[in-house]
Structure 1
């Protein structure tokens, strides 16, 4: 938009008509003071500013405008009938003017200059947008590279840990076998098996994320009883974590259409995280209900909880909740995979949490959706 500032009404009207005839959006002000008020409220691409005005003259208006952060880049063209000497023209440029035109004004020349300025302005705007977009893209490459390096480092560590443990237990087994100590052999075998299961879980997560990235994560959907699945999961989780009591609240009393193994994977992930991030506690609440043909499953713990900043990123790929006092194992992809699984079932996933008081992860999904999201 162009702002024309002139204390002579005839000048305002004639200039306004010319520019509007050539499809420019125009605003007017009859004094320097009025112009400053309008500059504070509106954004202008160009200001055509009369030099000789009562009150604030054009130079004073230009200097005031240059002090406004919002308008300091706005271009100014001075118009003057009386002040045509070089010193005034020089003052116009030093006050921030793009050009200084003397009256009587040749409208064709003024119009040509304004059109040329607008063309340059549009080119600069597009260049600035391209530069901003390029900088954002570069920062996104840098961030992606940093996350990739961090993930490789984490994955290497997490994979080495169970492997090192298995190696240690195998060495202990060799000694126990040679001594004929069957009880100790059994104990070491169980511990080695546990570490191998951790390793298998980590590798499965890595394979899943690779399939998600390539669009090859497959689903085998069919009807299955969700209540039985939950009871089985609770039994297995309780056996492997006897120090935790998992309370189940509610019943579905129906079959769910979906990939039973993948839904179980999500629930196991919720429960595993609830146990992992709840040191010093012993209870977890699993809630299930069906309403309006929609399944709701939630796992609530009473552990460390999360800050609002952490909540914003908890389903991001490679994101891990870290505490300064302790380090939790994991690749930071379990919840990302879970979110993808629920999305592919036409559902939604979410979390509620209060720092220091615990978290509740939940998902909802249609119980019998067999069309759009069937894969």
Structure 2
């Protein structure tokens, strides 16, 4: 007797697993229950949700600005302050933020128009002094706690502040009100005018099951209807799919966010413009392991910013020398006593 075993069919996600997961597998099911308050009827009723293809009449901006930032921990440090009962752990870190200017369809290459580098030392100590080295000065910043997670969060918050500062400064100096795309959620940046948050990875399924199915059904260049989402903060959002060869359910899916204070017609026009604009900027998998979500201008800006962070080995040695100079014997790598 012959037994036929059904052949399992599968697809492979284009996203490089070395960067984590573009989509948390639990986000496709109901394992992660979100407490977000949703208004699915901003553009159409929840029952009428369907993939939307923006028409050619949808206005696209003449110029798109993209803001992004990178960070790097240069050394782990221990602070010895008179008010501290025991030495407290900290991190000395470098961060950089920049703006790249794109002219959609104009044949003009993307141009980096602003870059700023910041170096900081983070600690839970009550008083965090600056660290002055021969290579750089690290400005003291207090973290909410001494765990690595709390120190890393303080660094991430500082980077977000730097990105906002660079964007505000560039717009003011250039007299620009061009559309600004910021890499990551819009949290803490909702006050910026004409600004859209761009989220490449998904860890929570914010939408109910019927609407999640609409996300999976999107074709490249299509988006979901706009909806309003409230967690600890409120914003408009929509999902769109970038050009991608993979057939996995959420391949090439990104989420965009806009301010909650926009009128419905304003955010719908913005969603149409962004959905028409971004596919032409999508990354390609033979060049970027995070394609297509990591847009080509973002990948180029990140490469430049990492270069601007400076030589990690030189900065680490300068921190060790500064610690010894100030009278403390440095710990073995990777820690520096200051």
TM-score, normalised by the number of residues in structure 2:
0.22
Which structure has the greater CA radius of gyration?
1
More strand by share: 2
RCO greater where, 1 or 2, for CA within 8 Å and sep 6 or more? 2
